[in-house]
Chains A and B, each alone.
Chain A
């Protein structure tokens, strides 16, 4: 969506929904990157009695008589369970892990209709020094927060226009952070890491593939930032360009949608992910959904997970009433 698109005010509010250390509406940094948040949550979960196994990719969800019975890993290992809760998107959960005959046709039709269409990418840069912005030269506090390349609503709208026709924005909207300024542990002394979140990079390109376009995309981002911080190119010592296709490959997020499905009005609230199935349950008994594809959606906020847990506890009779 572009800034003028109806419904975008919701996405803005959505970004204000969280609360970080009491600072309502802030997107904070966490020492060690967002991975640290996941690690902390993981540690809390372990302490509460959760077992977490890494490198255990699920290949199938076992279903018998319309109820989930466990999962089968890619290694063919079978794990039986009283209930299964999936935090991956509906595409993987229902179209990949479960045989279609186990699901009602109506439901499958809706799952296929659910829209992903990732439109963002990332460029991570390893820097020899700090970028020097023309508008505010030298180091300073302005580099420690979010740096937004979004000079006007028209600029953002034009960036979006290109994506509508299957091109990445040649002058994209970029949201930059330099976490090494607040957390020296992420780079060698004196060096820096610059993380650039980029919109728009449509998953489906009208010409070529993302593997062919990756370099050009990275260059467009660097060129754009260089217009504001001309020293950028000379301080880059390493770069990683993450296209929506890479996001899909690396994280399993279908079509690289960072929120496990578009946050458009028709895919929110009681319609997320599928009308009639917004209460974390699925047409298969004992199979639940608990990821960003459920209400209230994506972001490192944890709400879908908590709400799903409450529903699961209700069903097992262990919930507090």
Chain B
């Protein structure tokens, strides 16, 4: 048998690629094994209809931590980020719409048409999110401390964050503490009065979560996201060539640093010898011995699926079974003959520019909450919340000339349906999404050349997300920071010596930031020292 490798990483999602890069930099020559034919995980570009490509799963960028972009020299490896000046277009059924520009002053001019008060408050909200986001962003790159007995290093790092936190002043500090556990519907109401605008901001607190805007703790998710981008409605940055271009650049950087990446290599089990990780076995039987195994797959798949449970303390296994990771998201990708005409833009001279960012269908707080209600009882929303992008407007590499691709993120589609299964319901889901959107852009159905529907079940079977969860597990108050994926095991290590986690199911695990991967690499290197 071959000599044991220093490190094997299973899964080539963006977090694993980031971890591979940092480990390779230290000369460890990690081997990355990906079950699919391509690296990238949920951040990939695929051709779903001849000539039409799009970010089939995640479509707008995290964004990756600036330190990662710098360290990996992603632009040198081909990453070009396209930023739409319009962040969000949010139409309502009464024919009015918000077109929120990146420039907060321009955005507030737009908002003025709805409310003078909100125009000012929007700028204020942006500033507030900038202030708190700056502090929370420090937490993103921190290894969660051990609560019972924090090390000196933990304390020092927390102290530094704490000092910044206190720098906010007492009033602001208390505000942040109060905000976290709040329902995001209450949070936005503290600033804004226009329902359409409230919903545009609040959606950020429920994106990818099994929560509605009235769920407690949804503000924490909004704040966590503000740590990556404080702009109230989030970003609209698209890599040229789709999300796959980002992960291709990451893969190239990792390879250059010395990592090896094998696709079409599904890990079937993780080998354990004498209580420590000893390598992996691939489907087909190939054994790859290794001193350390790092998993970029989700915690449940890794620890309950690939590991013999005898290696886990029973209480750990039971708690992990209760880790909530049933997703509520789905995707619909459309190949279009041309751009759809939105009713709300009929009097706007350069209407297409408004479509270049993200488009939100979710015109009010109650609308979003009702969409969530359906999913609580095992139905998909009849009037869903949609987050849409048409990346081909800024990026002509994705569709034939004059044609377009539309990427539609949909919520709420529960992984577990009360009636029937996703094989039976997939077309009904796609039809519902199209019907919902057609109420805002009536000519859309006539422009559809092809469609690709990705149900929560597909997210699991095709993309390897257990329960179809976009973030490898709910980002709820009881599953973040020191509790991700489990209290006592939030430091990228597992009960099996030499087995580590580096994916989204670890802190901070929120979208395509790469932070989980970078933090994990740091901890693994510490153990090697």
Contact = CB atoms under 8 A, between A and B. Distances in A.
Given A164-B369, A264-B182, A266-B179, A276 B216 contact: no
A208 interface: no
9 contacts: A5-B214, A6-B217, A6-B476, A164-B369, A165-B370, A264-B182, A264-B216, A265-B181, A266-B179
Interface of B: 170-171, 174-175, 177-183, 186, 190, 211, 214-217, 366, 369-370, 373, 376-377, 476-478
Contact of B216 (A6, A157, A165): A6
Interface in A265-295: 265-266, 270-271, 275-276
Majority secondary structure of chain B interface residues (helix, strand, loop or mixed): helix
B178, B182, B217, B369: residue with the most chain A Cβ atoms closer than 10 Å? B178
Nearest to A165: B366
Contacts of B211: 6
Nearest to A158: B377
A5 B366 contact: no
Nearest to B175: A275
A266 B190 CA distance: 14
Contacts of B181: 7, 264-266
A4 interface: yes
A113 interface: yes
A268 to B, nearest CB: 9
Contact of B174 (A6, A157, A161, A275): A275
A164 B376 CA distance: 14
B376 A4 contact: yes
Contacts of B182: 264-266
Contacts of B373: 161
Please provide the 10 A-B residue pairs with the shortest distance between their CB atoms, ordered closest to farther. Answer: A275-B174, A265-B181, A7-B216, A6-B216, A6-B217, A266-B178, A266-B182, A266-B181, A161-B373, A271-B178
A164 B174 CA distance: 27
B214, B369, B370: residue with the most chain A Cβ atoms closer than 10 Å? B214
Interface bin, chain A: 20 to 34
B177 A271 contact: yes
Contacts of A4: 376
Nearest to A154: B377
B508 to A, nearest CB: 18
B367 to A, nearest CB: 11
Interface of A: 1, 4-7, 106, 113, 115, 154, 157-158, 161, 164-165, 264-266, 270-271, 275-276
A6 B477 CA distance: 8
A115 B376 contact: no
Nearest to A269: B177
A106 B478 CA distance: 31
Contacts of A161: 373
B178 A1 contact: no
Contact of B217 (A7, A106, A158): A7
A205 to B, nearest CB: 15
Nearest to B219: A266
Given A7-B216, A164-B369, 17 more contacts: A1-B216, A5-B216, A6-B211, A6-B215, A6-B477, A6-B478, A115-B186, A161-B373, A164-B214, A164-B366, A264-B216, A265-B182, A270-B177, A271-B174, A271-B177, A275-B178, A276-B171
A295 B366 CA distance: 32
B191 to A, nearest CB: 12
Contacts of B171: 106, 276
Nearest to B478: A6
A7, A266, A275, A276: residue with the most chain B Cβ atoms closer than 10 Å? A266
Contacts of A7: 181, 216-217, 477
A115 B214 CA distance: 14
Contacts of B215: 5-6
Nearest to B211: A6
A275 B214 contact: no
Nearest to B212: A164
Contacts of B377: 154, 157-158
A157 B477 contact: no
Nearest to A278: B174
A113, A271, A275, A276: residue with the most chain B Cβ atoms closer than 10 Å? A275
Given A161-B373, A266-B182, A276 B170 contact: yes
A157 B369 CA distance: 13
Contacts of A113: 190
A218 to B, nearest CB: 26
